[in-house]
A = this chain, B = another copy of it.
Amino acid sequence: MKYRRSGRLVDMTNYFLSHPHQQIPLSYFSELYRSAKSSISEDISIIKEVFETKNIGTIETTAGASGGVTFIPAVNRRESEQLIKELCDRLANPDRLLPGGYLYMMDIIGDPILTQALGRIFASKFRKAKVDAVMTMATKGIPIAYAVAGHLNVPVSIVRHEHRITEGSIVSINYVSGSKKRIQTMSLARRSLLPNSNVLIIDDFMKAGGTIRGMMDLVQEFQSTIAGIGVLTEAIHEEEKLVEDYVSLTKLSEMDMRTKWIKVEPGNIFNKAFSFEDN
């Protein structure tokens, strides 16, 4: 089809947004629109400028015969901080307190637009970590894991507590749940993670870190490496956590079951040590 610049800008913007972290040769667009590569380059610099001004992301250009352009999603630090602050306020509602020191979070995790936005913060944070796959634990880690993976354009491996017959051969490990000190089992289908993958672990909630520690061991069983760890909420844990390098979006820092009072703060993602923009 033949488009004027205005039409091309709309169509290319949609294409970039739906193909993150994917290199596209310039010739793809010039053939699609029957336009000169020079016009396409101009289109792309307009899109790039808006994407960068509005912190939608950037468009990286790779030169050479195998070159092309790649959309890398990003987030605006100030907007992300605002989003996380609002999330903390929502989480601090005492109605969420459940027996055992848990928080009701399904309304947060059940909102697909919000989970996309939260996933995008992790995807932006780990955009240079050369992630090959995202790993998460069923059930509640799945929505955010998919949002992260979608923005990074990598597959998801879902670890489960049970053994299910519908997935062929599985790899199981035992692990000690950190807060309850109970031995549990987690399994992953042999086919669902390629060996030598660089794996980003994403979960909804971390107390002592036992489940995440288990997933780290499972990654090793697949001869793979850890690209990073991200949790939506980290909880109070008196003893030393079993995991050191993790990124959290929110932190449940104080809780009084008797007076039904909880305090939720932004997690460590905005700490200076993590240099949000430059990682």
The residues of A with any CB-CB pair to B shorter than 8 Å are 1, 3, 5-7, 9-11, 13-14, 17-18, 46-47, 49-51, 53-54, 56, 98-100, 102-107, 110-113, 115-116, 138-139, 142-143, 146-147, 149-150, 153-158, 160, 165-168, 189, 191-192
From B103, B112, B168, A146 is in contact (CB under 8 Å) with B112
Whether the pair A110, B9 counts as a contact (CB closer than 8 A) is: no
Please report the C-alpha to C-alpha distance between residue A253 and residue B14 in the assembled complex, in whole angstroms: 36
Whether the pair A14, B17 counts as a contact (CB closer than 8 A) is: yes
Return chain B residues, CB-CB under 8 Å to A153: 112-113
Starting from the known contacts A11-B54, A112-B150, A112-B154, 19 additional A-B residue pairs (CB-CB under 8 Å) come to A5-B6, A6-B6, A7-B49, A14-B17, A17-B17, A99-B165, A100-B166, A102-B166, A103-B166, A110-B155, A110-B156, A110-B157, A110-B158, A112-B153, A112-B156, A113-B153, A116-B150, A139-B139, A139-B158
Whether the pair B107, A168 counts as a contact (CB closer than 8 A) is: no
From B14, B111, B154, B158, A155 is in contact (CB under 8 Å) with B111
Return chain B residues, CB-CB under 8 Å to A112: 146-147, 149-150, 153-156
Return the chain B residue nearest A103 by Cβ.
B166
Return chain B residues, CB-CB under 8 Å to A189: 104, 106
Return the chain B residue nearest A42 by Cβ.
B6
Return chain B residues, CB-CB under 8 Å to A10: 9-10, 13, 46-47, 50-51
Please report the C-alpha to C-alpha distance between residue A111 and residue B146 in the assembled complex, in whole angstroms: 9
Return the chain B residue nearest A56 by Cβ.
B14
